[in-house]
Amino acid sequence: MEIKTDVLIIGSGIAGLFSAIKISSFADVILVTKKEKNESNTNYAQGGIAAVISGDDSFDKHINDTIVAGAGLCNEEEVKSLVEDGPGCINDLIELGTHFTLEEEKLHLLKEGGHSKNRIVHAHDLTGKEIERALIDKISTIPGIRIMENCFAIDLITEHNLKNQKNAESTPRHCWGAYVQNSKLNRVIKIISKVTILATGGLGQVYLHTTNPAIATGDGVAMAYRAGAKVGNLEFIQFHPTSLYHSGPVTDRHSFLISEAVRGFGGILLNSSGEAFMQKYDTRKELAPRDIVARAIDNELKKRGDDFVLLDITHKNGEEIKTHFPNIYAKCRGLNIDITAQPIPVVPAAHYSCGGIVVDHFAKTSLKGLFAIGEVAMTGVHGANRLASNSLLEAVVYAKRVCEYLKLNLVKTEQTKHIIPDWDDSGTLTSDEKVLISHSQKELKQLMWDYVGIVRSDLRLNFAGRRVNNLYTEVEEFYKKTKIFDSLLELRDMITCASLIIKSAEMRKESRGLHFTTDYPDYLRSPKDTILQNTFHRS
């Protein structure tokens, strides 16, 4: 089956939905998403969106905070334009129907780690859910956008897919759409587009403990890499310092987040002796950037052999806690923890990928016709460590820029004249060996957690690299013989991402931001981005 459209968007988080709305004013849009349309990292975002709103704040202060957190690797021009575009993007979200929390009819602003001012615009502690709701409601009123749920993008269509393989090595390479598996109908659809936008979010599921929901399996980075696009800085995985620790089963494969805004509100971290330990690590204590707080907690846990530290907010007014954090209060209450009277057990968990598909100011990737926005992209604004609440901001800013770019340039773009072959799964069989997938997935997540986590070393990375190579070989063999299904596709993409994270980490012979290795504990004088590109034929 073949469908043609002007613009194919892959992913229905803030980046995909926002760009779909804006682009629909001048082009036809198909948006595919692998589960239900509201299932995304965005839907779980708590703290909010950073923007300069208050009179005592300034662009310079937000720019400076972002660059300090980014530990010497931010692209300063991109940071400047990100911050300057921030207030306009908040207005756009409000115009599209988002209800942010107000105080005396003004936006209420929270504070988070690394921010010198209160500048986090939020909807209580359910900011992402409110944004997703507003954008989905808006889309339901726009006939020019076709949303296809339960449609899993498998691979981008490029020269590699043409029957005439002479085209495969042509440069620059083009993207002409994607092969998409309709998981309900078990059928692969070929979607041909003038332009394709990857908005597939993060890759936290590569790790055993993560705040990211089950969809975050790094499909966009893996697809883009297989297609030959440049990817970069993938060693910079952000571990959020405070995810809820509890001994019960982890539901839906992810850990519940205890927002950084709880520390911004006055929460104090205690070790098992009841000692507030953060001042030993940084003068900014609980509000130091995330890499520092996560490493401090990791150090306390390893030193003491503990499973968790405590986050104490009991000294604050109970009613205010419930008003600001209704979601966190209710979740903990359900586990018999009353956060107004008891400290919360917390541990770090993989949270965000600062690296991704390399893009320019307009979110253009190194493949013609392919754009990337949101967490899947590497824009340069986060450097070696993202400042809290700059991610939703980045997603909207770059989504808006793609639209501005396409508004001027889409008219000059034609559909490909090449004949794109149908998906070919001849010779493959339906498998009843799904245990191979679930087992390999567990193995991958455990080894990434143990060897490629908060603290790394050459030896650990080397062990991890060899094991991931074995998994890659086994799963590729299985993939070639088997009729595809979602968990196989996800595992394949997770393995590719794991391998890219390890390779990038091995390339970085220093400790910087989120990448800390015991073999190179210092900074290099002239840091560089770690860029990887697949120059081989795609299988």
Tell me which residues touch ligand SIN (CB under 6 A).
46-47, 259-261, 388-389, 391
What character string, x for contact with ligand FAD (CB under 6 A) and - otherwise, covers 255-294?
A: --x-------------------------------------
Give whichever of 10 and 388 is closer to ligand SIN, judged by the CB atom: 388
CB of 231 to ligand SIN, least distance (A): 21
- Using a 10 angstrom Cβ sphere, with 0-12 exposed, 13-18 middle and 19 or more buried, the burial of residue 520 is middle
Closest CB 416 distance from ligand SIN, rounded Å: 38
70 binds ligand FAD (CB under 6 A): no
79 binds ligand FAD (CB under 6 A): no
Give me the 145-184 binding string for ligand FAD, x by CB under 6 A, dash otherwise: -------xx-------------------------------
List of E strands, 370-461: 370-372, 377-378
Q: How far apart are CA 534 and CA 53, in angstroms?
A: 42
Q: Are 24 and 144 in contact (CB under 8 A)?
A: yes
Cα(467)–Cα(461) distance, integer angstroms: 10
DSSP-derived letter for residue 28 is -
Q: How far is the CB of 411 from ligand FAD (least distance, A)?
A: 27
Q: Cβ 226 to ligand FAD, closest distance in Å?
A: 12
Residue 120: strand pairing partners: 50, 110
47 binds ligand FAD (CB under 6 A): yes
Residue the block writes with tokens 């988070």:
112
Element at 241 (helix H, strand E)? strand 237-244
What's the min distance (Å) between Cβ of 379 and ligand SIN?
Answer: 15
Note whether 65 binds ligand FAD by CB under 6 A: no
Please choose which of ligand SIN, ligand FAD, none residue 39 contacts, taking the beta carbon within 5 to 8 angstroms, the exact cut-off set by kind: ligand FAD
Amino acid sitting at position 159: E
Is residue 253 near ligand FAD by the rule CB under 6 A?
no
Stretch that binds ligand FAD, among 36-44, 77-85, 328-336, 450-458 (CB under 6 A): 36-44
Of 84, 118, 20, the closest CA to residue 388 belongs to 118
Residue 75 or 242: which CB sits closer to ligand FAD? 242
Closer of 310 and 373 to ligand FAD (Cβ)? 373
286 binds, among ligand FAD, ligand SIN, none (CB under 5 to 8 A by kind): none
The interface partner of residue 215, options being ligand FAD, ligand SIN, none and the CB cut-off 5 to 8 Å by kind, is ligand FAD
Using DSSP's 3-state secondary structure scheme, residue 471 falls into helix
Q: How far, in Å, CA of 139 to CA of 144, rounded?
A: 9
Minimum CB distance to ligand FAD smaller for 239 or for 352:
352
Which residues are within 8 A (CB) of 233 and not within 5 positions of it... i.e. 6 or more apart? 73, 354, 355, 356, 378, 384, 504, 529, 530
Q: Which residue is nearest to ligand SIN (CB)?
A: 47
DSSP3 helix / strand / coil % (the chain, rounded to 5): 40, 20, 40
The answer to whether 45 contacts ligand FAD (rule: CB under 6 A) is yes
Q: Give the catalytic positions in this structure.
A: 290
**Which is closer to ligand SIN, CB of 177 or CB of 202?**
202
Q: Which of residues 192-211 bind ligand FAD (CB under 6 A)?
A: 199-202, 211
Cα 384 to the center of its chain, rounded Å: 15
Burial class (CB in 10 A: 0-12, 13-18, 19+), 131: buried
- Residue 98 in the binding site for ligand FAD (CB under 6 A): no
Q: Please, what is the minimum distance in Å from the beta carbon of residue 493 to ligand FAD?
A: 7
Applying CB under 6 A, which of residues 5, 8, 12, 227 lies at the interface with ligand FAD?
A: 12
Place of tokens 């390779």: 503
H or E element that contains 269? strand 268-270
Q: Would you say 211 or 517 has its CB closer to ligand FAD?
A: 211
Q: How far is the CB of 205 from ligand SIN (least distance, A)?
A: 16
Phi, psi of 100 (to 5 degrees): -85, 160
Structure tokens at 393: 């901001």
Burial group, residue 307, by CB count within 10 angstroms (0-12, 13-18, 19+): exposed
Residues in contact with ligand FAD, counted by CB under 6 A, come to a total of: 44
Cis peptide before 87 (omega within 30 of 0): no
Min. distance of Cβ 460 from ligand FAD in angstroms?
A: 25
- Residues contacting residue 46 through CB under 8 Å, at least 6 positions apart: 125, 126, 127, 128, 257, 259, 261, 327, 328
Which CA distances in Å does 140 have to 92, 146, 283, 450?
Answer: 18, 10, 49, 44
Instruction: Give yes or no for residue 355 binding ligand FAD (CB under 6 A).
Output: no
Binding characters for ligand FAD, 113-152, by CB under 6 A (x = yes): --------------xx-----------------------x
- The dihedrals phi and psi of 367, each to the nearest 5 degrees, come to -100, 135
Interaction site with ligand FAD (CB under 6 A):
10-16, 32-35, 39-42, 44-49, 127-128, 152-153, 199-202, 211-212, 215-216, 219, 257, 352, 374-376, 389-392, 395
